[in-house]
Structures are given as structure tokens and as C-alpha cells.
Amino acid sequence: MGFGKKWRSWVKKDFDVGLFRGVPVGFSSLRILHLQFADDMIVFSEANIEMVRNLKRILRVFEVASGPALNLDKSKLFGIGVEENQCADWAASIKCEVDSFPSIYLGLPLGYRRSSTELWKSILEKLPSTVASKLNKMIAKFLWGSKSGKAIHWVKWDHVCKPKEFDGLGFTDLKLKNRSLINKWIWRFGVESSSLWRRVIEAKYGFDHASLIPKPRNPNKVSWVRRSISCPIGVVDDAFTHNVRCVLGDGSSIEFWDDFWTDVPSVKVVFPRIYVVAVKKTEKINAFGSKANGVWSWYIELRRVLFEWEVCIWNEFMLMINAASCSSALFEIACCRVDT
């Protein structure tokens, strides 16, 4: 069965009249109805028999109206938080197969545990750091002919992993490659603000929609995959954080104290005294000032009058943020800094 704009419009109408409700994401108003890739589709439904039957009716009516045939022999019903017997009964009532997690969809594993070997067969870019380190050691043992015990490493590992054009051996450091591929998702988070995957991440983990960089409000409640992507961002000396700078536009997307928008990665870290006496601690830049005719005017409210020895620190602080506010950009972006 092929699915296009006609199908999306059909599902939207059924949703509006209450025949089909999809599933909510987190505590937001976002609800996921379906995901589709070419002629494959996953439909999400509340766990009750009436919704499951309505879904089959919707598909049958769409089949009659548009022509593509519904193949129930290749359709499967999965239950999350539903008893296996109940899920099997629902599948039998709509004459399709029943399945359970973990499973494979379009070649990708779904619902596998972190330690499962099946998970890592197809998702090499999300290798845990410990696994990447072990694989690097295995490569080194093979390179230096170590079958058991220790062997002399005649060349440093960093040099082994350098490209051949830089006089290296051209081997891949899996730990570094893993981090590079993960950083890609941080970049996409900043540039694909309206994409569905980002909206799902925001709703599930409480990320700020206005932010350019994904930072969970409560890292302990984030899945291990998402945590491996976002948690290093909170470390000031993280290589990716240290080399991604935000370009100031209207001040609506960049965090004043934490994001890298001045000459230093974090204003809060470099000017802790100013941060301590400031009233606002977590707001965006536009909460501390306004831009008129390309010039920023700052209104940084303090809890008390500065001591005489703090005035010098304040002057340095103002010089730095004024220098960073000279950007003429209309929109805010995160860009990579390249050292030459």
C-alpha cells in the first residue's frame, strides 16, 4: 500500500473526529499518529480494542477509496505495557499477526537491551565508549601481532590513526569516530528546529524548544542513547562544546550564561562573581537586553550594589559581551570554530 499526502490528510480527519488518537509524547500536547517510509508504516494507537478496530476500518476505507491493497498478512500488532494474551486477542480480531519487542524494523533493531549483541550489529555509530576502547585495543593487538599477553607498540596510537597524507597509517580510531557521528545529531538538533524527531526529543526529555544545543533539564531521566549525545555538552572542556560557537542574532535561542557566544565557552565559568550577584540565572540573551538599529543595550539586574573590587571585573565582563554583540546576523545559528 502506498501512502502519501492523501493518506496523511485522511488520518488527520479521523484524528479530528476522534476515531483515532495516536499516542502522546511526554507531558506535552504532541501526539504521534504514524511514521512512514516509502510503503512501510508504523501506526501508533492507544491500547484499547476499539481504537485497534477503528484503525483497521480506516485502512479498509482508504483501500476502497484510493485503490492500494491492505496486506494484513504482512502487518503485525505490537503491545507496549499490554498483556501478551490480550494483544494476541486484539490481533486475531483484526486478522493480523502479533509480535513483541525486541524486533527488527527496516533492518534496525527496536527494543533491544544496551548490552545485546543484536543491537550493536547495525548501530555502530552509538557504540558505548568502553566497547569502542576494547575494539581499538583489538585493532592494536592485530597490528602489532600480539596473540596473547603484551606486545611492543612501535608507534603511538594517535600516530597510527592519523591519515596517510599526514604521515599516519590511516587506521580509524573508533572512539573518535563514534563521538564524531554522535556530534552530528547535536548539529542537526540546532538546524532542524521544526523536524518531528526533534519535537519528540523535546517533548520526551523536556528540552527547551528555543535552544540551539540539546541540554536535558534532568540528565538522570534521559535514555542512555540520548544521554551519550547530550551530557558531554555540559562539560566545559568537551572538544565539541569547545569548538561550537553560537552566533548572536535576536537573543531568543542562546543561553546567556551557559552557551558559547562570547570569546569564552561559558560566561558563568569565567565571571562567577557576576553570575552570583545576577538576578536572572537561566534565561536567554534577550532577557538581559534588547537590540535596536544593530546595537545591543544591556539591562543586567543585580541583587546588590557591586563592591569596589568587583567593578573592575564588571568592566571586563561588559567589554566581553559588547564585543560579542557586534554580530549583524538576523537568525541565530551554531557554527564550528576551526583553529588554523
pLDDT at 270: 93
Q: CA quadruple 14, 18, 24, 29: dihedral positive or negative?
A: positive
**Does residue 52 register a pLDDT over 60?**
yes
User: Could you give the dihedral angle defined by the CA atoms of residues 150, 152, 157 and 159, in that order, rounded to the nearest 10 degrees?
Assistant: -170
Q: From start to end of the chain, where are the E strands? A: 23-24, 31-32, 34-37, 40-43, 76-78, 97-99, 103-105, 108-110, 244-247, 289-292, 295-298, 333-336
Q: Quick one: pLDDT band at residue 221, thresholds 50, 70, 90?
A: low
Alpha carbons within 13 angstroms on the beta-carbon side of residue 148 total: 0
pLDDT greater at residue 114 or residue 183: 183
Residue length of the chain: 340
Q: CA quadruple 132, 216, 329, 263: dihedral positive or negative?
A: negative
Q: From start to end of 117-262, where are the E strands? A: 244-247
Q: Would you state the cell numbers that stand for residue 43, as one nine-digit string?
A: 501506526
Phi first, then psi: what are they for 169, rounded to 5°? -95, -5
Which candidate, 9, 20, 98, 13, places its Cα nearest to that of 52?
A: 20
Amino acid identity for residue 281 in this structure: K
Instruction: Report the distance separating Cα 270 and Cα 73, nearest Å.
Output: 63
For 302, the 3-state DSSP assignment is strand
- pLDDT tens-digit map of 281-322: 989 999 999 988 878 899 999 999 999 999 999 999 999 999
pLDDT greater at residue 53 or residue 171: 53
Chain centroid to CA 16? 30
Q: CA quadruple 318, 324, 326, 332: dihedral positive or negative?
A: negative
Instruction: Report the distance separating Cα 175 and Cα 131, nearest Å.
Output: 9
Phi first, then psi: what are they for 108, rounded to 5°? -110, 140
Q: Quick one: pLDDT band at residue 330, thresholds 50, 70, 90?
A: very low
Q: How does strand 108-110 pair with strand 333-336?
A: unpaired
Q: How many helices (H) and strands (E) does the chain have?
A: 13, 12
Q: Quick one: pLDDT band at residue 211, thresholds 50, 70, 90?
A: confident
Mean pLDDT (the chain, rounded): 78
Q: Would you state the cell numbers that stand for residue 190, as one nine-digit string?
A: 540546532
In this structure, the number of other CB atoms found within 10 A of the CB of residue 178 comes to 20
Instruction: Report the distance separating Cα 39 and Cα 42, nearest Å.
Output: 10
